[in-house]
Structure 1
């Protein structure tokens, strides 16, 4: 007997495209402030986003906090790394894991005002030639009390990339631009964060050669200053021992930074003449770091001699 085929159930509606905004939160033992940071992020209003958490093998309660949140909120994607990638490796992997057209890094000890993501998103969408949007900030202490304010002093919206670079290199400023919202495809064309301590400044200087920045002049970022911050507790030389994974025997932090600034300029989409002028714009940094670079080289010579002597000693005992 012929029977009519049972009507097929429609497949459940699933999201086939990522949210337009991806937030990447790298964390290692962030338990003291992580709950506050996550609460502020997930309370963002009127913007479609996903949160990607990269846990660098935390040993405190970070994993439990994040897994519980991911179970409750479908916007949250939690990844526990198989090994500690170092701070730089974890930051950069998040950029590649996320799928949104726009990307921002969030710190596990910071907080946002509820409209920060939306306003950065609208600013970037409304300025098609911009590659980054960012906001002003309030600096808060460990208890969340306001202790300072930050407003951008640099001409990062100038149409000339050399003006943008000169200001970012030559002016003294806190580099809170790095907490802004990036065009992810442009960000992926850069070297991302290089494996040196002041890598955020190098990245922002490089990005400024790709396009101008647009600013939301409202204090929507709450940046926490406290003694446990990685940049406060780790020297440039210690960074290599605690954060890098290449385990170099001889370390020249300032020389390496100079090399990454040179790569940033030579890899940027500039005409030949602009590239030469951009290299000249690095002079303030090079002057300021000339003595530290000389000390790097001198110490490298001494360290190299010690390593060579130790190698000969081991060979003589065989």
Structure 2
């Protein structure tokens, strides 16, 4: 369905029905690829959806692009944040702003094939035990040329939640599951995206403890790889310093990731035995991150000592 409006929009109907699908598009200075992303989303076929845009106080032409698109298509809900709240909070706020049965995040530099939303909705409708539907992906470069392909290597459809989380944590893979279509009421039972750099992997591991995923084995997501991507352009430590808004000065990236994995397992609807097995499934992650966690603690101790010495010096100088 493509609900177009005239240049002079009619008043919004009070109590108008919410579309069954909400697409959340968080963006900050997305002008280089945003027009293409919007065009591919608005061209989705055979699906009734709303597009919620969370603009994190962009300083380029993002606002103008979004407002112009919203003037011509009443499926768009544009929200410019009151301040830059950081990428994680912007993603999570969109989940709460939307009210649809199904929810998906879209990236401002990606694109969809025209049937992607429809096929994910159909996949979830056919599988009432599933909590997420996702598709295979084609990786493209800044110019739209194909540079790779992604197909899910994990047993995310397995009946055993421990098998699902064991694969998601233990196997090497690109986590494109996070661009899938969620049951929003289940998504809101998780911690959503925690304030750490690899938060999408933590969320998907947590969600796998709530239910099975259903896969559409078609390359319907066009995921763009370019040097300006946030995850590629900053280290974990710099991500904390530049993107977090909680005011913390001591940075322990790997330690905090471990804490969020533990919270995810502790809050999931598991039997006691499965909870223990899910904790044991973290062993590959712990082995890989043991040395970085030790460095986190050592560096935090040094940073804390420097801050204490600096504060003491300021007091003595008064």
TM-score of the aligned structures, taking structure 2 as reference length: 0.95
Q: For residue 4 of structure 1, what is the aligned residue in structure 2?
A: none
Corresponding residue SS for 1:193: coil
Tell me the alpha carbon deviations over residues 258-305 of structure 1, each in whole angstroms, 9 at most, x when there is no partner.
000000000000011111111111010001000000000000110011
Contact preservation (8 Å) 1:162, 1:277: yes
Deviation at 1:13, TM superposition (A): 6.3
Corresponding residue SS for 1:215: strand
Residue 278 (structure 2) pairs with residue 273 (structure 1)? no
Over aligned residues, Cα RMSD in angstroms? 1.1
Contact preservation (8 Å) 1:29, 1:62: yes
Q: For residue 143 of structure 1, what is the aligned residue in structure 2?
A: 143
Q: For residue 129 of structure 1, what is the aligned residue in structure 2?
A: 129
Deviation at 1:16, TM superposition (A): 2.6
Corresponding residue SS for 2:22: strand
Contact preservation (8 Å) 1:19, 1:49: yes
Q: For residue 311 of structure 1, what is the aligned residue in structure 2?
A: 311
Poorly superposed stretches of 4+, deviation over 2 Å: 11-17
Q: For residue 167 of structure 1, what is the aligned residue in structure 2?
A: 167
Q: For residue 26 of structure 1, what is the aligned residue in structure 2?
A: 26
CA distance in 2, matches of 1:18, 1:239: 36
Residue 87 (structure 2) pairs with residue 87 (structure 1)? yes
CA distance in 2, matches of 1:182, 1:191: 14
CA distance in 1, matches of 2:258, 2:288: 11
Contact preservation (8 Å) 1:240, 1:247: no
Residue 199 (structure 2) pairs with residue 206 (structure 1)? no
CA distance in 2, matches of 1:52, 1:26: 8
Q: For residue 3 of structure 1, what is the aligned residue in structure 2?
A: none
Deviation at 1:17, TM superposition (A): 2.2
Q: For residue 239 of structure 1, what is the aligned residue in structure 2?
A: 239
Contact preservation (8 Å) 1:88, 1:195: yes
Residue 53 (structure 2) pairs with residue 53 (structure 1)? yes
Deviation at 1:234, TM superposition (A): 1.2
Contact preservation (8 Å) 1:23, 1:50: yes
TM-score of the aligned structures, taking structure 1 as reference length: 0.95
Structure 1 residues 173-184: aligned runs within 5 Å: 173-184=173-184
Residue 91 (structure 2) pairs with residue 102 (structure 1)? no
CA distance in 2, matches of 1:249, 1:225: 31
Corresponding residue SS for 1:223: strand
* Larger mean Cα displacement after TM superposition, 241-250 or 216-225: 241-250
Q: Runs of 5+ in structure 2 lacking a partner?
A: 1-10
Larger radius of gyration: 1
Q: For residue 5 of structure 1, what is the aligned residue in structure 2?
A: none
CA distance in 1, matches of 2:206, 2:17: 29
- Pairs aligned (count): 308
Tell me the alpha carbon deviations over residues 173-215 of structure 1, each in whole angstroms, 9 at most, x when there is no partner.
0000000000000000000000000000000000000000000
Deviation at 1:217, TM superposition (A): 0.1
Tell me the alpha carbon deviations over residues 27-78 of structure 1, each in whole angstroms, 9 at most, x when there is no partner.
0000000000000000000000000000000000000000011111000000
Q: 1:238 and 1:47, CA in 2 relative to 1: closer, same or farther beyond 3 A?
A: same
CA distance in 2, matches of 1:149, 1:59: 33
Q: 1:13 and 1:304, CA in 2 relative to 1: closer, same or farther beyond 3 A?
A: closer
